[in-house]
Each structure stands twice: as C-alpha cells, then as structure tokens.
Amino acid sequence: MKDLYKTLKIDSSATESEVKKAYRVLAVKYHPDKNFDGDSNSEKFIEITEAYNILLDSEKRKVYDLKYNLHFGKENVFNDTNSSNTNAKFEHEPFKNVFNSKDRSINETPSVSPEYDLYGNRIIGFHFFKIPKYIGKIIGANSNYKKDEKFEPQTKPNLVRIFFGYLISILLSAAIIVLFRPNYFWAFVWAVLPFAIYSFYVWLITRPENVIRYNYFIGLNGFAKYIFHNHLENLVTDFEMNFEKVTDLYVYQMEHYYEKKLQNTEYIYLFLNNNNGEIPYVDKGVYYKETDIQGQFSSINFCRMIEHYWTIYLLDNMEFKLQQAGCLWFTIYDHTSNKYSKYIKLGIGEITFLKEDNKEFTYRFDEIKTVYISDNKLFIQHRNFSKQFFFMKSGNEEIIPLLNLCNRRFFYKAFEILLGYSLDKK
C-alpha cells in the first residue's frame, strides 16, 4: 500500500491548506515541463498528483485513512523496534519483557519457570510443577504451590495391622471389665472407648487429603492450566492450548440479584473452533464484584487474562486476515442450545450483515447514521433510517446481540479501526 502522506512529505494529520502547500512545492520541483531527466520525474509527478487528488477530497481521504491506519498506523502491542540480532536471542532470553514479531512466530515455549505473575508482579516463593510446551513466550503465570510444600502419594493402609489394632482394643476393653468389674454404665463406656479411640486413629491415617494446587500460564500464542489434588501424581487438569487451534471466544456473564441486591455474577468462557465444530475449552463459575479484582477467584482472573491476550493475538493477525479473506467474520453463539452461525462481515470501511437465505446487507462507513449501545445490544442505523411516531420505523437498522457475539472485545477494536466508530465498551 502506498503511503500518500510520505509521497507529499506531510504528516497524516495535515490540514487541507498544508496538503495544497506541499503539492505546490513538489509540483514545481517535479513538473515534467520543467525537468528533462527522462521518465523518473514524470512518474514522480503522477504519484504526487494522485496523492493530492485523494487527500484533498474529504470522502476519498476518509476511506484512505481507514486503510492507512490499518496498514501503517495499527496499534501494535508488540514492540517491533528490536534489531534482528536481538530477535534471534529469543531462545536464550526467556525473561525479556519486550515482545516482537519474531516472538509471535515462535510457538515453542522455553522450559524455564516464569518470573512474573499475571499482573506483572515478580513471583517469589512459589513453584511451577509443570511448564507448557507450545504456547509461545510466557507473558505471565500464577501458582499457589509454595516451594517449601511437599506432597507425597498416599500409601494404601495395612489392613492386617488395622485388624490386629481392633482386636487389641477389644481385648483391652474385656480385660478392664473383667479385672475392675465396673457397673453397667462404666462397663459400657470401657467397652466402647478403646474401640472408638482406635477408630478415630484409623480415620486420621487413612482419610484423603484435600489439597488443590494449580499452575496457570499465559503465553503470546496460547495458555495452559495444570491442577493436582493431594499429590503431584494426581494431575486432574493437564491442559494447554495454542491459539491456532481455535477461531472464537464466547464470553457470557449474568448478574444474579435477590431483593434488588447483587448476589453474584455467573460467567462462562468458552473457546470454539468453527472449522470443525469442537469446543476445546470451557471454564465457568461465579464471582463477587464487591471483591477487589486480584482478590477474586484465580479462575475468573485467569479467564480475563486469556480474553485480553486472545484479543491482542487477533489484532496482531488482523491485517493478514483482511489480506487473505478481504473481511473479518464474526459469529453469534447461544450456549444454551450450542448453536452458532456467521452473522457479520467486517471489512475496510464497511460492515455486512448476513440475512436469511444467505442474503446480505452492507453499510458503508459513510452510510451509517447512528451507532449506539443499549441493553447489551449494538444498534447500527442506516442514513435512510427514520423513526415516525412511537413505533413506526422506516429504513434499515441492524441490532447485534452483544451477549451472543464471539470475540466481542476484538470486534469493538476492529469496528473502531475499520469503520472509525469508537464503542465505549470494554
């Protein structure tokens, strides 16, 4: 894509008068009637004239700016200013905190324990019992497994020893009753007490532990989750996923009230692969908004971080997707019926809605009259839309159910970049 601002040697925020001034200066310099250096100046003059005609026309410039911001000015979370020599050191610098495009292209994860948690704090005193292999460079991780903790596999109880223990307790009770001849009450007490004490001892040595330890990892290209119960050999959750394996993230949150007071918030985080219909990852539960974010359950904060870095991943691959398919597809999903369908195509300067019978209706950026959010729905009104009286409407209006929209945070950002409308929603 040509950088028309660079062609005219002006800034992208240049005013109309600055565009005209820059064009006049360059036109004088490269005008073919003045120069006799062959075709080079003629080609240069044609370039600056084309740039001038586009940037001086407000409508053409608006369309160009959308493409320009995507190609040249796209906000890149990963700093790409490092030299190739620095990039090549990725395998040997697992703790560097500057990410670049080379890091993004590497899916293998260095087999070293992370230094920072999911909030950017240095990890002190906690151990990671398993390191993922295929989620890229680790950004952050959480663990509740302290370094000084030791959990050994529980051995099976010796049934013969327990049997003889009970036999001894019975003989002890009988000996006390025979030797001391207590009354009926104390005879009952001594008959039961040794047996009860030994039974409690057996319960203590055979009862299952209730220890849960977890390791959560967020990487540039995926995430991992490991949980064990009671001892390391009992790994009940052993999961890692590369973002290449999924296409959509569905996030559902519902607040529950009792007598107009918020009780808790139910959440569901669900990854989909629309290519094969699989749902490789689901996490759900409840949390309490009154609690400080970092004080809330580790699982909900882990889900929030997954969504955050998944959105960054999509933004970083947005230009490639647009070049490959010409648009970005967004899906509507209903977790109660497990049904999802393609609903929206978002392209440079336009948004298309897929209707029944595969019919489409497209809004160009300059045809949009109003965009607003109400009751978890996004309303987009065409400039032909009008409201008459209370219930009478005419023209085109589209409604996007945001609670059912997959990759919602990415949609907000892509909508702003490609159409120029900012949605004040996180």
DSSP annotation of 191 reads: H
pLDDT of residue 36: 45
Give the model confidence (pLDDT) of 90-130 as tens digits: 333 444 444 666 778 889 999 888 988 888 889 998 989 99
Does pLDDT of 7 surpass 50? Answer: yes
Give the model confidence (pLDDT) of 148-199 as tens digits: 877 665 566 678 888 888 888 888 888 888 888 888 888 888 888 888 888 8
d(CA 332, CA 221): 24
Q: Which CATH number is associated with domain 4-56?
A: 1.10.287.110
pLDDT of residue 41: 65
Q: With bands split at pLDDT 50, 70 and 90, how would you rate the model's confidence at 344?
A: very high
- Among 104, 144, 106, 151, residue whose Cα is nearest residue 127: 144
pLDDT of residue 91: 36
Does pLDDT of 298 surpass 70? Answer: yes
> Which has more confidence, 386 or 40?
386
| Total H helices, total E strands in the chain | 11, 16
In the sheet where 328-334 sits, what is the strand order?
328-334, 339-347, 350-354, 360-364
pLDDT of residue 403: 92
pLDDT of residue 73: 54
Q: With bands split at pLDDT 50, 70 and 90, how would you rate the model's confidence at 315?
A: confident
pLDDT of residue 121: 87
DSSP strand pairing (368-374 vs 360-364): unpaired
The two tokens of residue 192 are 């039961």
pLDDT, mean of residues 233-251: 93
Give the model confidence (pLDDT) of 43-96 as tens digits: 888 888 899 888 988 888 888 887 787 777 543 333 333 333 333 333 334 444
User: Which three-class secondary structure state does DSSP give residue 387?
Assistant: strand
Read out DSSP for 21-79? HHHHHHHHHH-TTT--STHHHHHHHHHHHHHHHHHHSHHHHHHHHHHHHHHTS---SS-
pLDDT of residue 63: 80
pLDDT of residue 294: 56
pLDDT of residue 234: 84
Using alpha carbons only, how large is the chain's radius of gyration in Å?
33
d(CA 112, CA 109): 9
Does pLDDT of 136 surpass 80? Answer: yes
Does pLDDT of 330 surpass 90? Answer: yes
pLDDT of residue 82: 36
> Which has more confidence, 201 or 388?
201
pLDDT of residue 99: 61
Does pLDDT of 251 surpass 90? Answer: yes
Other Cβ atoms closer than 10 A to 267: 19
Does pLDDT of 423 surpass 70? Answer: yes
pLDDT of residue 410: 93
Q: Where are the beta strands (DSSP E) in 177-221?
A: 212-219
pTM above 0.75, yes or no: no
- Could you tell me which CATH class the domain 317-419 is placed in? mainly beta
The residue whose two tokens read 């019975």 is: 170
Q: Where are the beta strands (DSSP E) in 171-319?
A: 212-219, 222-229, 235-242, 248-258, 261-273, 278-287
Q: With bands split at pLDDT 50, 70 and 90, how would you rate the model's confidence at 34?
A: very low
pLDDT of residue 283: 93
> Which has more confidence, 157 or 372?
372
Give the model confidence (pLDDT) of 139-159 as tens digits: 999 999 888 877 665 566 678
Of the ranges 89-103, 151-165, 286-300, 301-315, the best mean pLDDT one = 301-315
pLDDT of residue 78: 34
In the chain, the percentage of residues whose pLDDT exceeds 70 is 83
